[in-house]
Amino acid sequence: MRTIKKVLSNLHRYVLWLLVSIFLWAFVFNAAKVVPAGKKVVVFADVKINDIGALTNELEKELPSGITLVEVHEFSSAIFDGTVIGQADILILPEAEVEKYMGSLSVVPDADPETAYLKDGKAFGVRIFSANSNTGSALKYFGFSNGTSSDYYICFNTASGHTGKLNGSEDDAAISVAESILALP
């Protein structure tokens, strides 16, 4: 009985320590482990991804210099975190959605007009999947042909710091990752 009383009289210390542990380690992990935007390339795909782990492993086989991580989000992640789209360097969008995000997409000057999404003569994306021919890149990883039949385009966020000459920066890591995606079977 006396032991129980002693434990109860120290209950506040146990609760306080639990709170200290949570806040301390959350702070430490956040400071030590969260990769800053400058060291990662974020890909947002408005399509179902069959295996995110396999895709990221594939894209990380040859990381551009200065990049430690490729982060891939599929459409469902945007439901829970609306900031994902704004933070993405690369956006994989269906044709109908490209128009919607036009204001935040970089112009791709060297894109082939045959496969580019053109608006007022400017290319805003490169086609990654053609619904007509049911062909494209990275079909193993992206469920393009599931659901509505639409062309998909790979686009670049104007706010990205990794799009090289598209926004005047020297860092073209997002371009390299996009080229890797387009080269995937």
Partner 1 sequence: MYDEKDLLKAVSKRKSLTFLSVLLGVLTLAACILICVFAKPRNVTPYLIAAICVSTVGGWIVISIVHFPLAAAKAEVKHINAILEGERELIEGRFKLTDERTFIKNGVGMYSVKNEEDGSAVFKVFDKFADRMPSKELKTIQTVYGFVTAYEVNDADD
Binding site for partner 1 (CB under 8 A): 2-3, 6, 10, 13-14, 17-18, 20-22, 24-26, 28-29, 32-35, 56, 68-69, 71
CB of 23 to partner 1, least distance (A): 10
Task: Name which of 7 and 118 has its Cβ closer to partner 1.
Answer: 7
Report the distance separating Cα 167 and Cα 15, nearest Å.
Answer: 51
Task: Name which of 30 and 133 has its Cβ closer to partner 1.
Answer: 30
CB of 28 to partner 1, least distance (A): 6
Task: Name which of 14 and 80 has its Cβ closer to partner 1.
Answer: 14
Task: Name which of 3 and 76 has its Cβ closer to partner 1.
Answer: 3
CB of 81 to partner 1, least distance (A): 14
CB of 173 to partner 1, least distance (A): 16
Residue 102 in tokens: 């036009």
CB of 94 to partner 1, least distance (A): 26
Task: Name which of 68 and 158 has its Cβ closer to partner 1.
Answer: 68
How do 122-130 and 152-156 pair as beta strands? antiparallel
